[in-house]
Amino acid sequence: MKRLWQSNFFTFRAKGVFGPLFLLFQFFYILTMSNHGSICSHNCFGIKDHDGSCCHLEDRDWIIGPHTDPDDFLERLSDRFGREVKFENVFYTFEEGSALFPERSCWQKETSYPALKIDLEKDRKPCIFYNSTLRSCSIYDIRPQICRKYHCQYLWDTLHPVDEK
């Protein structure tokens, strides 16, 4: 009998009507059963009702780059969406990004690229894959390496408190 999902962060295998239902289940599981989900989506940096700062530019000198696996990531995105996803639809090059934010120093370094595109229409300027309504990444299971390796010190300290003896 085929399994509907694997435990590798719920890599879903079913098709049809069950797909959207499972994604909804996955979202509620993250929010209710996982400290990580509730911290990142409702208490980011210890700020009540604040979410996903690592996925937003906000008013900081911050960039979501450099990406070390752009080709692999684009291949995973293409598989997910069932069509070719092009580099220019997902990433900023140095030329494009540095012109967007000339006042932000990290955007002026060639070593910061390629960088994930952001939604310039929204106030906090989230990554284009961040779902502001659900307060989570829409591609979490296939996110790029930079996002997988990001170390949030606040999250680490919250989930791994030091014993005071």
Q: Which of 35-44, 70-79, 124-133, 135-144 has the lowest mean pLDDT?
A: 35-44
Rounded Cα distance, 155 and 132, in Å: 20
Half-sphere exposure of 78 (CA within 13 A, CB side): 12
Q: Is the pTM of this model over 0.75?
A: no
Task: Judge residue 97's burial from the number of C-beta atoms within 10 Å of its C-beta, 0-12 exposed, 13-18 middle, 19 or more buried.
Answer: buried
Give the pLDDT score at 70.
Answer: 96
Within-domain flag for 49: no
Give the pLDDT score at 57.
Answer: 87
Within-domain flag for 36: no
For the segment 10-61, what is each residue's pLDDT rounded down to a tens digit? 334 444 455 555 555 555 544 444 445 565 665 566 667 666 677 888 888 9
Rounded Cα distance, 92 and 115, in Å: 5
Residues 6+ apart with CB under 8 A from 55: 64, 126, 127, 130, 137
> Contact, 113 vs 92, CB < 8 A?
yes
CB atoms within 10 A of CB 40: 25
Within-domain flag for 22: no
Within-domain flag for 99: yes
Give me the torsion for CA of 98, 103, 54, 136, rounded to 10°.
Answer: -70
Range of the domain at 99: 55-159
Within-domain flag for 84: yes
59 residue type, one letter: D
Q: How confident is the model at residue 4 (pLDDT cuts 50, 70, 90)?
A: very low
Give the pLDDT score at 29.
Answer: 46
The tally of domains found in the chain comes to 1
Within-domain flag for 19: no
Give the pLDDT score at 44.
Answer: 63
Give the pLDDT score at 33.
Answer: 40
Within-domain flag for 50: no
> Contact, 134 vs 20, CB < 8 A?
no
Within-domain flag for 75: yes
Q: How confident is the model at residue 89 (pLDDT cuts 50, 70, 90)?
A: very high
Mean pLDDT, to the nearest integer, of 74-92? 96
Give the pLDDT score at 3.
Answer: 33
Mean pLDDT, to the nearest integer, of 112-117? 96
Mean pLDDT, to the nearest integer, of 135-150? 87
